[in-house]
Each structure stands twice: as structure tokens, then as C-alpha cells.
Structure 1
């Protein structure tokens, strides 16, 4: 496939890193920073992503648009961009790469009926890409060619089927385990701290659950992501319910991330400036004290 221009909305934590690595692999990347936060604009500048101004210019100059947003913004953006595509009668690919339920993705794809756009279902597994790390973009749909052409260009791309919803489903199932487990760990450790058995529990984990304790010690950045993960947990809950399973566990996980997002460190730290050497016990102290206020 010929070299394509990729439009990214939004160049936030994940989006700017994706853009930076695509650019490092000679892919032309653009964005629209109209209405975006100061931090997002700064991240886009850092990644050297070209700002074309508004969404009309983004559509006119892109071959493929990657939507990488928080779940709550995914559907409204899809509706807005589909209307822009329709007004311009532009032949373009639109890939929704957000953490949303399969049924949400399927309904979203209907916005593009009657346009010249081809809708691609995408699900990102892994953290932001870097020079030494590539997350996997799972993809599905009738035609995913342009997204697949980016495989090996700073990201990995894996097509898993022809149906809209399949890529979203694997993302939901995977994050249901990984981020769901983190929420459970926060709840377990905070409860232990409040009930006065934290040290004893950690001692037991070190003997019988050493690998799990190692993963718990890797949660130092969780508060910088907690606000974005609330909506994701609710989408996972909806996914489980669509399979006739209870969605209550991940609704509870959403509640956990909600309280974490309201702590002082969550309100004042970002992935760029959080205290990397904060210990697990210091983190849980902060969470447990907030819960007892």
C-alpha cells in the first residue's frame, strides 16, 4: 500500500506516543488541536505531530484517522467526524481504537453509513509505544488494509476477523483481567491497611504470592491513569453483561478508580511528573487515608 497520512485524535498519553513512533518510521502524521488542552498540545508538539487546525482539514488531508480517546469521548467524536466526512464526501478510513464495548463499537459504526468512509474496529493492548516497545493494535472489519500497513512501524497490528466488534471484544476481555486485577489489588491492600493487617498481609504475599506482590509494586503510576479507566471499567461491565455474565465486578472497579482519581496525588500528578520512587505502602497509605476522610 502507498504511503499514507494518518490523522490522530487525540495526541494524549497514548495518541502522541503512537504518532511519535509512526513519524520515526517515516509515516506522515497530523492532528487537529482545536479545543484540546494545553497538555495535549504540548504532547503533540513534543511528538512533532503537525497540527492542521480543525477537523475539516484533518479529514481532507488524512487517508486514515485513528480515534484514540477516553471512552466517554469516543462516541461523540465518531458522530462529529462522520458528519464532517459526509459533508466533504471524502473517501477515508476511520479506525476506532478506543476501550469500548463491542456493542458500542457496532452502534458507532452505523454513524458512517451513507458516507464514503470505511469503518475499522481497533483495540489497543499494551502501553504507549517507545523506541524499545510496540503495543498491539488488534483490528477487525471488512477492510482493515491501511491500519495493517502500519504493522512494524512503531506498533504491531494483528487482524483477528472480518466483523466489527471483534477487536473491541479482545480489548475488553484483556483489560477486564489486567486493569480489573489492579483495581482488586488496590481494594485488597487499602482494606488491609484500614483494618490494621497490611504488614501481615504483605508478609504472607511475599511468601506465597511473590509474583503477584511484584506486580502490585508496579502500580506507582495508577493514579495518573485512574480517571481514564473509570469509563473503561463501565464498558467492560457492559461487555460482560452482553455475554450474560455479571457486570458488577467491573462496576466496582470503576468505583475504585473513581476514588483514586479524587486523591490529591491524582489531581496533581501526571505521567510526566509523578513520583516514580513512591513505595507501594506510601501509595496505599494515601488511598486508605482518603477513604477514611
Structure 2
């Protein structure tokens, strides 16, 4: 297969590094310079990307376009691309929800082929090897897999349904990023009372990720009647320390959905998740 021309929208820290990997198997990687920051210009130069003057030129020359931009801009960017009647493969690789991805697919589907993408991991520099999860038409996902063959970007295909890759990305991000914030709140609360080092020592005794223990969901549900009020107390402690309490109050509100399964030792994880989905 001939080497494709690839367009990247836009070369942020992730986008530029991913584009540089794509360059391994592409004839050229283009980016659109007008309106971009000095940092973007420097990144593009660092990774050897070719600047073009207008979006229309990038789209006309590209066989594959990869969209990696701030999530809030993803739909407007796709609308601009649709207005130019792009006819290649459009990889929607932003951290947006599956419904938005499907809307974007509908915007572009009369001319382009849309592949849903989700990047899990750090930018592929200095030995980092992120995974780009894909879902969408098989022939198109195969082209993207070929584009990254032999590079630091690992490809995993999840099937033909647009939205699957974005769902996986957001499911993982919701745990990973919220967990980091919970660390900040917990250490902040402990520091207020001079026990932050002791907290870190307690936590260091357990290194496993709760995300790898989904069976514990049922136990969480059965204990929600106790945990909810406990988190309300913790939220009060955060507020007294001048720290934001809303996250823990929201967690307590979520636990309240399990109020009727108090100490239910027969509850299964699936039962608990079904109940969680019911207001």
C-alpha cells in the first residue's frame, strides 16, 4: 500500500508526538499553522511536521486526518472539516463522550470515513508507549493500524461500532483522574491536622489499584449506608480546612442509590451496578 499523507489537528503535546510516530509510515505529515501558538510551532518543528497555510490545503492533500485537540473544540473542528467535504479517513481521537463521537460521525459520513479513537497513556516520547484504541469500519481501522506499525504507538481495535474507543477512554480517565484529585483532597485534609506523612505511610501498605477489583463493587454497595455518612463527615472536614468538599458530597450522593441493600451479603457486582443506574 502506498504511504499516505497524514494531517494532524492540532500538534499539542500528544498530537505532535503521535504525528511524529505516524511519519514513520506516512509520505508526509501536515499541520495547519495559522492561529496556532508559538509552542505549537516549536513542537511541529521539533517533530518534523510540514506546515500548510490553510485547513483547506491540509484536507485536500491528506488521506488520513487525526484530530487531537482540547475536548471542547472537537465538534467545532469536525464541523469545519465537514464544511470542506473531506473525503479521507477522519480519526476522532479526542477525549469526548460516545454520543459526541457519533454526532461527529454523522457530520462527516456523507464524504469521509470516521474512526473513533482514544489514547490511553502518555505522549510517545522518551520511551513512553501509549495505546491508541480504535473502533469503526474494519478497512479504515486497518489503515490506521498500518500507519502506526513499528512505532511507539500501540494499536488496539475494539470492533466496528463508533463510540467504543471513546467509552473505554472516558471510563478509564474517570477513574484515573478522579483518583488523583482524591489523593489531593485526602492529603490536604491530613496536612491540615499534621498527619499527612502518617497518611502516606498507611497508604503505602497497599499498592493495588481498586479498578482491578470490580468484584468489590457489591461490597461497596452493601456498605453504602455507612460509607455515605462517613464521606459527608469527610466533606465537612475538607470545608473546615478551606478545601473543596463537592467531590465527596457527590460521592455520598452516589452511595445513597444503594440505601436499600444494607449489609446484603448476597448482592452480586452486576446487581449493584444495575441498582446504581436507577435514580
Pairwise CA distance, 1:173: 1.2
What is the rounded CA distance, in whole Å, between the counterparts of 1:251 and 1:10 in structure 2?
Answer: 37
How far apart, CA to CA, are the structure 2 residues paired with 1:70 and 1:98? 7
Matches of 1:27 and 1:153, distance apart in 2:
15
Q: TM-score, normalised by structure 1?
A: 0.66
Q: Does 1:130 align with 2:125?
A: yes
Q: Which ranges in structure 2 are unaligned for 5 or more consecutive residues?
A: 210-245, 252-279
CA distance in 1, matches of 2:78, 2:170: 19
1:176 to 146, 151, 174: 174
Contact 1:150–1:157 (8 Å) recurs in 2: no
Deviation at 1:21, TM superposition (A): 2.4
Closer, same or farther: CA 91–69 of 1 in aligned 2, 3 Å: same
Question: What are the Cα deviations for residues 214-261 of structure 1, in whole angstroms up to 9, with x where unaligned?
Answer: xxxxxxxxxxxxxxxxxxxxxxxxxxxxxxxxxx969979xxxxxxxx
Residue number in structure 1 paired with 2:201: 203
> Cα gap change, 1:59/1:252 in structure 2, threshold over 3 Å: closer, same or farther?
farther
Query: Relative to 1, partners in 2 of residues 1:113 and 1:203: Cα closer, same or farther, differing over 3 Å?
Result: closer
In 1, are the aligned partners of 2:87 and 2:112 still within 8 Å (CA)?
yes
- Give the number of aligned pairs: 212
| Contact 1:180–1:250 (CA under 8 A) maintained in structure 2 | no
TM-score, with normalisation over the residues of structure 2?
0.70
> C-alpha root-mean-square deviation of aligned residues, in Å?
2.4
Match of 2:56 in 1: 56
Max Rg structure: 2
Offset at residue 158 of structure 1 (A): 1.4
User: Compared with structure 1, are the counterparts of its residues 8 and 250 closer, same or farther at alpha carbon in structure 2 (3 Å cutoff)?
Assistant: farther
Aligned to 1:30: 30
CA distance in 1, matches of 2:69, 2:46: 18
Q: Which has the higher contact order (CA 8 A, sep 6+)?
A: 1
Question: Using the alignment, how far apart are the partners of 1:112 and 1:198 within structure 2?
Answer: 51
